[in-house]
Amino acid sequence: MSDWHTATDPVPTHTTNRSFVRVAAFVALIGLVFGFAGPTLDQAAARRFKRQGTDLLRSSLGVPAADAQATAGPVALTSEILTVLKRDYSRATIDDKKTRELTYAAIQGMLATLNDPFTGFLDPDDWLQMQQTTQGSFEGIGAVLEPYGRDVRVVRPIPGSPAFLVGLKAGDIILSVGTHDHDTGKLIKTTPTLGKGINDVVKLIKGPRGTKVTVTVLRQNASKPLSFVIVRKHIEPPVINAWMEDTDRKIARIVLNEFNERADDQLWRAWTDLKKQGARALVLDLRYNPGGLLEMAVRIGSRFVDRGAIVIVQEKNGVRHTLEANPRLPKVGDIPVAVLINESSASASEIVAGAIKDHHRGKLIGQHTFGKGLVQTLFPLGDGSALRLTTAKYFTPSGRDINNKYDEEKRPIFGSGGIMPDIAVEQSPDWVDQQFEDKEHDTQLKKALEVLRTDLQVAARR
């Protein structure tokens, strides 16, 4: 999320056999920016689900159901416990507000037993935050976060953001978040984050512009935890950065930072401008892109693939839906393409990279990707909250399952999934993460340019 989180933010998208909800598995700082996306409901089903959600809340809040016989099993038990609490608990008054808090906690606890870091309950604030994330602006520190086992870690700080300027780095694991008084700036509370969901961590980190937050992280090879006092600001992270990388050979470069609602439009405008400058080849840089909206992944994949599957989605019942390239969208064209990827290229990034690879529309260069091939569906509930569920998995057009295996602590085992590059290139240790202007130490970019120059030479001899 972003203050962004990766993999979860829904919005209705185009329809094939079913319509799909766009969910960005953003990392809170997009933090949540994960690329979550999944099927949504038709209107009749949505109304039915909303009624069911409202009935569940009504039962939990102790409001008699219209038909007492309809409440049975776990729902009735929840209602019974709340009734006893309201009647007999002596240490606090169980009013409507507290009842709602208890209900939300019960739902969160229930979902936690699934041991699925991508499934969760979003209270009204979380749900609003997620929608803001997909729209592309927020107030916070400007870092992209993701769940990492029982922890939350930084995917990347957004260049130029407060998180970037104080020195937060990709791979930092968040240990605690310190809350400051908005008026005095004094640190008043430190909250450990181990075991907290990414939405909870994002909520701690985000806040009004001009206020302070302390983020303490564990960094690889650091002798002790590092603490950063960060002043929040309004963040509008750039979705696209584009320029002519090699002006002599006209090799363009587009850095795509995430798949939010603006991604396809900005990418196409950037490519149109580069074409006017005479671009003959393209480096598409998906490194550190944590994902975003499924619809955007399909649209951007369609810019490179003329026809055929962009991604295959398999539902719980085993039924598969193929999301095809949109033939009506203008295409990049038959030019040499190199796609830069690494271990922080996730979800929607993997959909696009997999489609380009499987359709032989370009060469993947760098390191294997993150390995998240799961689809989340967002179900809005009657009180303004929402339920985010893993409802399906996806495969690349060739049928490849890219999901990582997980260890006993629910941490992804890197290398057990993801998409392998066509040309594996380890990054130079002297290259600073996401310093895309550092071309001297960017060995992966150098390789991509070498490959494209050779492709252009071969094409010229034909």
Residue 405 DSSP one-character state: P
DSSP string, 137-154: -EEE--EEEEEETTEEEE
Maximal CA-CA distance, the chain: 86
Question: Reduced to 3 states, what is the DSSP secondary structure of residue 275?
Answer: helix
Contact between residue 370 and residue 345 where contact means Cβ atoms under 8 Å apart: yes
Count how many residues are written for the chain: 462
Q: Residue 254: beta bridge partners?
A: 242, 284
Q: Spot the catalytic one: 206, 372, 393, 447.
A: 372
Q: Specify whether 224 is catalytic.
A: no
Q: Specify whether 264 is catalytic.
A: no
10 Å Cβ neighbour count for 219?
16
In whole angstroms, give the CA distance from residue 300 to residue 268: 9
Strand runs labelled E in 94-225: 120-122, 138-140, 143-148, 151-157, 173-180, 187-192, 212-218
Q: Spot the catalytic one: 60, 347, 349, 385.
A: 347
Contact between residue 341 and residue 286 where contact means Cβ atoms under 8 Å apart: yes
DSSP string, 386-453: EEEEEEEEEE-TT--B-PPPB-TTS-B-TTSSS---SEE-PPPTTSPTT-TT--SS-HHHHHHHHHHH
In whole angstroms, give the CA distance from residue 363 to residue 371: 18
Instruction: Say how many CA atoms lie within 13 Å of 256 toward its Cβ.
Output: 36
First to last CA, the chain: 47
Q: Specify whether 358 is catalytic.
A: yes
Contact between residue 305 and residue 398 where contact means Cβ atoms under 8 Å apart: no
Contact between residue 32 and residue 198 where contact means Cβ atoms under 8 Å apart: yes
In whole angstroms, give the CA distance from residue 218 to residue 228: 12
Contact between residue 366 and residue 289 where contact means Cβ atoms under 8 Å apart: no
Contact between residue 373 and residue 398 where contact means Cβ atoms under 8 Å apart: no
Q: Spot the catalytic one: 55, 126, 172, 358.
A: 358
Alpha carbon separation from 306 to 26, 272, 300, 301 (Å, rounded): 28, 17, 11, 9
In whole angstroms, give the CA distance from residue 26 to residue 198: 10
Q: Which of 42, 263, 39 is nearest to 134 (CA)?
A: 263
Q: Supply the residues annotated as catalytic.
A: 347, 358, 372
